[in-house]
Amino acid sequence: MGTSPVSEFLTLFLMVLIVGSKLIHCTVTYDKNAIIIDGQRRILISGSIHYPRSTPDMWEDLVQKAKDGGLDVIDTYVFWNVHEPSPGNYNFEDRFDLVRFIKTVQKVGLFVHLRIGPYVCAEWNFGYLEFLLFYMLVLLTSVPSIHDYIPSSFWGFPVWLKYVPGISFRTDNGPFKAAMQGFTQKIVHMMKDERLFQSQGGPIIFSQINTCNGFYCDAFSPNKPYKPTMWTEAWSGWEPKYGHLKELHRAIKLCEHELVSSDPTITLLGTYQQAHVFSSGKGSCAAFLANYHTQSAARVMFNNMHYVLPPWSISILPDCRNVVFNTAKVGVQTSHVQMLPTGSRFFSWETYDEDISSLGASSRMTAPGLMEQINVTRDTTDYLWYITSVNINPSESFLRGGQWPTLTVESAGHALHVFINGQFSGSAFGTRENREFTFTGPVNLRAGTNRIALLSIAVGLPNVGVHYETWKTGILGPVMLHGLKQGNKDLTWQQWSYQVGLKGEAMNLVSPNSASSVDWIQGSLANRQQPLKWYKGDCSSCSYSGTFRPPKCQLGCGQPTQRWYHVPRSWLKPKQNLLVVFEELGGDASKISLVKRSTTSVCADAFEHHPAMENYNTESNGESERNLHQAKVHLRCAPGQSISAIKFASFGTPTGTCGSFQEGTCHAPNSHSVVEKECIGRESCMVAISNSNFGADPCPSKLKKLSVEAVCSTLCGVDIPISFRMDNVLVQSTYVGLAYALNSHSMAFLSRDGLGK
């Protein structure tokens, strides 16, 4: 049966996981409306934290922030390649301590949705595997598996799996299923042994095999009428700014009882407007008023009251009367952040150059023709040297002042640096859209034997696509030398030597113990002789109306993909911190500094006609409290800071944005003093938006709002987060930028689009 565009729009908006929040021995079942916990239909709002992407010391704070933002559950993938780097050898230490992470979530008081996968997309190297082992989960866990949401295709794999004899991906294949089953059982038994499933009193209320089986939730519906509709990812809204959805979560909680009690009644309010009304059966109702016109606001009548709906928005009325949230008017705090000097500095920079001259002397592999890169490296490194030699006749005209020969190299991806007789000769790169590319450039050859060394770079492995296990990486040819007296010379099938990785990798120069094994040269890291390219881009004007696409509202066009890099505090020592930077294309290490991130001011504004929800609670019977409060501006400095001054305050018709607010034609004269009284000296404060709070109505005929900018100051003795500042080091035009490590901890491998490893 077809649905109208507005129905699909509202369905996408409302489809949150329906669950609950008590972390005790509980029963989890379901019906067509909801997941049922201890007999009560509940709504669960979930968010993802990928435990390997942070340190264990950070986990509790991250989970607490998620809880403060209104989440009930943390979902996480289980990352196969980090846990089983080689067959049967497992790693659950440090950042990969899955049990510790789940227990941290339980400690904070949230549920867990464990996405064993084992395939993950996650912007993660190669993704992993998935298969139809739902019934295995049912047998092993007693946790309700979502076994009816079966994928139509299977993506991803750890690299070693590609080389299992007889394996075939995305098919009913014995070796494939055996490897998959072994890893899945390992994770399930580990969770059971630690008593982490809900039936054992643990926080895991969902576990699933299938992940990433599509982008749009309206494409997946229950296969039985008694099952609820569920969805696990809000693509492409993966990364909202912290706080943007907090009020939305509160609004949904206020509607919880009605949302899980019945199907909606849909009423047309206009050509592009609808009301979706949910009733509890006990006389209460919640309404969602939708305007899916992308350009025009609408004034509609609902329950004998008028409502103004901005374009492409939904207003939420938890009591079918009062608007508590509109998707086009998100009241959220914004912050100004400064990077302040730490007082620490890098006392000196020393350099060590990769030794190009000895390439091939100790190569472990020699073969005729060109070999695929991953088959050689097995993804143990991103680098593979292709080395060969060519003899040049002394009679060649270019040796006597003629035009140099041209070298062309066809690569399957992702980047390439060319060295002739130990000297850098040029680079070439693929793109995100087209990994394949051709290097074409003049080469300075000499009479006699010339050594050609091609450094091929893999910038991660694919994690999505049809049969991407067959995709190639590296130099596959042809490799041609043009402009010789006897014509073109094909180097493709002559003898090639292969050297896996860089010498610095083999010597583990990122380790304080190994760094002393080479002679470092005092001086700058910069190499001004190597080519750098900068790309200029334009940002279009920003409008969120209409269907969202990732290119909408982009910022920082033409700027480096990333400038600041968080340094986990647990990685730092009181002294003698070793930072090792590997830069492929040149940069200036003197511009690298260690800084502290400090919130200098916070801003917020809100209109008087949108009530704020100061609290939301759900009673044991599943009903929500309905204490609707008048609109308020909420301000909060970072932990360890307090509000020291009010830089701007205006109740009326102020204009501008954070950092550039200005008074409008309507302004309450005592705005500044009212806000100062409520906020000075506090970490956080709330200021009611009402005429009475500001003495009188400054302009009775106009819709008013309160805009505030407050200055935050750090309290004495409080630590604040630390980041590295790196200027003129990352070159945006290249796929490969830099890799760096702090005290043996690998920190980043940067790529052109910012999706580092």
Query: For the segment 413-424, what is each residue's pLDDT rounded down to a tens digit?
Result: 899 999 999 999
In a domain, 11, yes or no: no
For residues 545 and 497, membership in a common domain is answered with no
**And the tokens for 622?**
């599943």
pLDDT above 90 as % of the chain: 45
CB 115 within 8 A of CB 32: no
pTM: 0.80
**Which domain range does residue 535 map to?**
331-354+506-757
Mean predicted confidence (pLDDT) in 130-145 = 29
Do the domain assignments include residue 283? no
The last residue of one of the domains, among 224, 243, 276, is 224
131 and 152 belong to one structural domain: yes
Contact 646, 707 (CB under 8 A): no
Average pLDDT over residues 576-596: 79
- Domain harbouring 488, CATH code: 2.60.120.260
Residues 494 and 638 in one domain: no
Is residue 183 situated within a structural domain?
A: yes
Token couple for 497: 């030597």
Query: Per-residue pLDDT averaged across 365-375, rounded?
Result: 94
Average pLDDT, the chain: 79
Chain segment 514-534, per-residue pLDDT in tens: 888 888 877 654 444 433 222
**441 and 526 co-located in one domain:** no
Q: Is residue 234 part of a domain?
A: no
Handedness of CA 83, 84, 86, 91 (dihedral sign): positive
Report which of 273, 198, 280 is spatially closest to residue 5, judged by C-alpha positions. Answer: 273
Collect all residues with Cβ–Cβ distance below 8 Å to 312 and sequence separation of at least 6: 291, 292, 293, 294, 328, 544, 545, 546
Among the three residues 209, 224, 239, which one is the final residue of a domain in this structure?
224
Q: Is 576 in the same domain as 605?
A: yes
First CA to last CA across the chain, in angstroms? 44
Is the predicted pLDDT of residue 708 greater than 50, yes or no? yes
Q: Are 580 and 489 within one domain? A: no
| Residue in the structure block whose two tokens are 């509790």 | 60
Same domain (yes/no): 128, 162? yes
Please indicate, yes or no, whether residues 406 and 524 belong to a single structural domain of this protein: no
User: Per the structure block, which two tokens stand in for 363?
Assistant: 């190569």
Instruction: Determine which of 225-229, 320-324, 609-613 has the lowest per-residue pLDDT on average.
Output: 609-613
Q: Are residues 342 and 476 in the same domain?
A: no
* Least confidently predicted of 118-122, 254-258, 623-627, 684-688: 623-627
User: Same domain for 442 and 529?
Assistant: no
> Mapped to the 3 state alphabet, what secondary structure does 260-318 carry?
CCCCCEEEECCCCEEEEEEECCCCCEEEEEEECCCCCCEEEEECCEEEEECCCEEEEEC
Residue 254 has pLDDT above 50, yes or no: yes
What is the count of structural domains for the chain?
A: 3
Tell me which of 169, 201, 224 is where a domain ends: 224
